[in-house]
Amino acid sequence: MNDTQTNEKHLEVIQNFENLLEDGIANQTMSDIASSLKVSLRTLYEIAPSKEQLVISTIDRILTNIAKQALSSMKDMKSSVDKLRTFTKIGNEAAGPRIQKYADDLNRIKGADEMIKAHESAYIDHIKRLLDEAVKNKEIQAIDTRAVAIMLGTVARVFSKKNHQKMLAASAEESANMISGLIIDGLIQTK
């Protein structure tokens, strides 16, 4: 098999694994996963040396693709505030419900928390850049952009915790979007 075929096959397996991951694989072995995906165990080990690495690399891929989607959706926008609204809305979806589907699997895997924190940090850094841009363009008032970025970048993760979800009137994502909107609206410069 040539490299192009191998890469295409691996990509198809990874895409199918993403769907399997949504159902949870905490108690499955690599052999169980290979069987569910209808591929050889050898193929899975070509992709990742362990179940843990397979989960981490797949979720890393999911989050990277969401980030690319968010950045792409903002490319034609002129307003920094509109970019910020779009970016946080997509981020709230990713950090909230999308990631929580994988919570049981991630909680059991060494190294997963570091990967999630790296994505969260990149997300917060990008929100800060958008806030800095909005301040520079005089769309929002001068503020501590790092503090606001941390709040906007973590609200969905906070609301997605099971003990918090039980107390919310809406979903974690809807609640995060509401709070993000209130924060952004409160920053807008009045003329």
On average, the pLDDT of the chain sits at 84
pLDDT attached to residue 92 = 87
Is there a contact between 122 and 70 (Cβ–Cβ < 8 Å)?
A: no
Q: Give me the CATH topology for the region 52-187.
A: Tetracycline Repressor; domain 2 (1.10.357)
* Residue ranges per structural domain of the chain: 1-47, 52-187
105 or 28: which leads in pLDDT: 28
Q: Tell me the pLDDT band of 84, cut-offs 50, 70 and 90.
A: very high
In the chain, the percentage of residues whose pLDDT exceeds 70 is 86
pLDDT over threshold 70, residue 22: yes
111 or 81: which leads in pLDDT: 81
pLDDT attached to residue 99 = 65
Q: b/e map of 85-119 (b: 16 or more CB within 10 Å)?
A: bbbbbbbbbbbbbbbbebeebbeebeebeebbeeb
- Return d(Cα 34, Cα 191) in angstroms, integer: 60
The architecture in CATH of the region 1-47 reads Orthogonal Bundle (1.10)
38 or 103: which leads in pLDDT: 38
Average pLDDT over residues 30-57: 90
Structure tokens at 91: 């981020």
